[in-house]
């Protein structure tokens, strides 16, 4: 992990961002003490709907038979009962 001062980070931010995009982590320090860490943000994986359906099918869950209760939107008391 690379370490830079706050002053250097301010002066060279575009270059540090390019390094972070390549997977490197940069520790930014003030007076020799770490104050921030610069690293790339991971990308989200797309949802694998087929895997979810297989998972439910293997466990005997029929996701097409889910029913929303008619009173789902009625306010309940603190104990969850009417």
pLDDT-derived band at 78 (thresholds 50, 70, 90) equals low
Query: Checking phi first, is residue 41 left (phi over 0); if not, alpha (psi -120 to 50) or beta?
Result: beta
Task: Please tell me the pTM assigned to this model.
Answer: 0.51
Q: Which of 40, 42, 49, 5 is nearest to 20 (CA)?
A: 40
pLDDT-derived band at 10 (thresholds 50, 70, 90) equals very high
Over residues 22-76, the pLDDT tens digits come to 989 999 999 999 999 999 887 667 889 999 889 999 999 887 887 888 887 777 7
Give the Cα separation of 16 and 38 in Å (integer).
Answer: 8
Which pLDDT does position 72 carry in this prediction?
78
From the options 1.10.1740, 1.20.81, 3.40.1620, 1.10.3470, give the CATH code of 2-38: 3.40.1620
Distance of CA 29 to the CA centre of its chain: 25
pLDDT-derived band at 77 (thresholds 50, 70, 90) equals low
């Amino acid at each position: 992990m690379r370490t830079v001062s706050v002053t250097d980070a301010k002066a060279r931010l575009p270059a540090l961002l390019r390094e972070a995009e390549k997977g490197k982590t940069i520790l930014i320090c003030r007076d020799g003490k770490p104050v921030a860490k610069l690293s790339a943000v991971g990308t989200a994986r797309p949802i694998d709907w087929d895997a979810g359906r297989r998972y439910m099918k293997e466990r005997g869950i029929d996701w097409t038979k889910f029913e929303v209760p008619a009173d789902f939107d009625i306010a309940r008391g603190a104990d969850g009962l009417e």
